[in-house]
A = this chain, B = another copy of it.
Amino acid sequence: MFHFFCFLDILPGMSKLLLAGTVAYDSLKTPRGERPHILGGSALHAAVAASLLARPNLLSVVGGDFERRHLDFLQKYGDTKGIKIIQDGQTFAWNGFYEQDMREAHTVQTDLNVLLQFDPELPPEYLDSDFVFLGNIDPVLQAKILAQLPGRKFAAIDTMNYWIAGQKENLGRVIASADLLFINDAELRQLTGEDNLLRAARSLLGNLKYVVLKKGEHGALLISAAQVSAVPAMPLAEIVDPTGAGDSFAGGFMGYVVHSATSSGVDVDWDTLRAALVYGTMVASFNVQGFGCERLAETSKTDLDERLKVFREITRIN
C-alpha cells in the first residue's frame, strides 16, 4: 500500500486539508551553525511537509514586517488566504539554541507579538475542510477553529508542555473533541500523570481515537484502544537542526492521510494511519538535516521514496 506515494500526484478535487498554527521568524543556534531570522513556526513546517502529497489551506497570522518573499514562499506550499496580516503588528519571533546533544531546545526569547491578537476566522473557502491539523497554539484558539468545522472528517491536534501546565482543562476539552493527538513522551506523562506510555495514551481515548507518541530520536508510536504500531526513527549520522521536526512529522502524517483517503475513497483506517506514521518519520528525517525547512523544502517524492527503501531495510524483520 505504501510504494504508491512516489508516483501519485495531487488529485483534482481531493479532500481538503487545513493546517492551522504559527508562522514565525526563528533565530537559531545549533552545534552545526547559526541562522538569524529564518522562516519557522508549526504551520510553516507542517505545510512544507504536507505539500508533497496535498495542497494544504493555511491558517495563521503574521505582522506587517512579514516579507513578501516569505509570503511567496508559503504560497508555494499551500493556500495563504487564511494567513492574516496584522499590518501594525510584528510576526511571532522565537530565539533559541541547542546544546551538543540537540535533544532539547533552549529558549533565549519568545516574542508572541501578533499571536496575542490571533482570532482565527476561517475564509469561506476553508469551511468545508475534511481534514484538520491544529498545530501547537492556545487550546482556546484550537477549539475556536474546530467550532467552525462541524462537518470535518478527521481532526488532529498538537500541543506542548506550556499549555498542559497552564490550560489543562481547555486542552482536555479540545483533545476530547479531536480524533488524533500528537504528543511527546514527556508531555504525555505530564498530561496524564501516568508513567507507562501505553496506559497514559489509552487513558485519553474516548471520543479521541488515536494518540501518536513522538519520541524524537527514538521514533514514534501510534496507539488506539485495541492496537499499537511502533516505528523507530531514521538513524542519521548528522543532524543539523531539530527545530520543527515534530511539526513536519505531523504535517507529513496528515498529508499522507488526506492523500490516501482521497485516492482510496475509504475512510481513515488503521493501515492508513500506520503508513502515515512511517511517512511522517521519513519527512521529519529530512527536516532535521537542514536549518528550519531549508532541506525539506528541497526534498522530492523520489528522495522520500529512496529513503523509505533504506528505512524498510533498516527496520525489516525477517
Contact = CB atoms under 8 A, between A and B. Distances in A.
Contacts of A2: 317-318
A261 interface: no
Interface string A143-154: 000000000000
Contacts of A215: 218
Nearest to A308: B317
B195 A102 contact: yes
Interface string A218-243: 11010100001111110111110000
A231 B228 contact: no
B198 A236 contact: yes
Interface of A: 1-2, 100-102, 189, 195-199, 202, 215, 217-219, 221, 223, 228-233, 235-239, 271, 274-275, 278, 311-312, 314-318
A232 B235 contact: no
A277 to B, nearest CB: 9
Q: How many copies does the complex hold?
A: 2
Contact of A198 (B1, B223, B237, B271): B237
A272 B236 CA distance: 23
B230 A235 contact: yes
A68 B145 CA distance: 70
A101 B194 CA distance: 9
A230 B221 CA distance: 14
B318 A274 contact: yes
Given A229-B314, A274-B318, 6 more contacts: A197-B217, A215-B218, A218-B219, A271-B318, A274-B316, A275-B317
A235 B221 contact: yes
Contact of A317 (B223, B228, B278): B278
Nearest to A102: B195
A199 B239 CA distance: 11
A235 B201 CA distance: 12
A192 to B, nearest CB: 13
B230 A314 contact: yes
A195 B232 contact: no
Given A218-B215, A218-B218, A219-B219, A197 B318 contact: no
Contacts of A316: 229, 274
Contacts of A233: 230
A232 B278 CA distance: 13
A100 B274 CA distance: 30
A235 B197 contact: yes
A233 B229 CA distance: 11
A318 to B, nearest CB: 4
A235 B101 contact: no
Most central of A218, A232, A275 by chain B CB within 10 Å: A232
Contacts of A275: 317-318
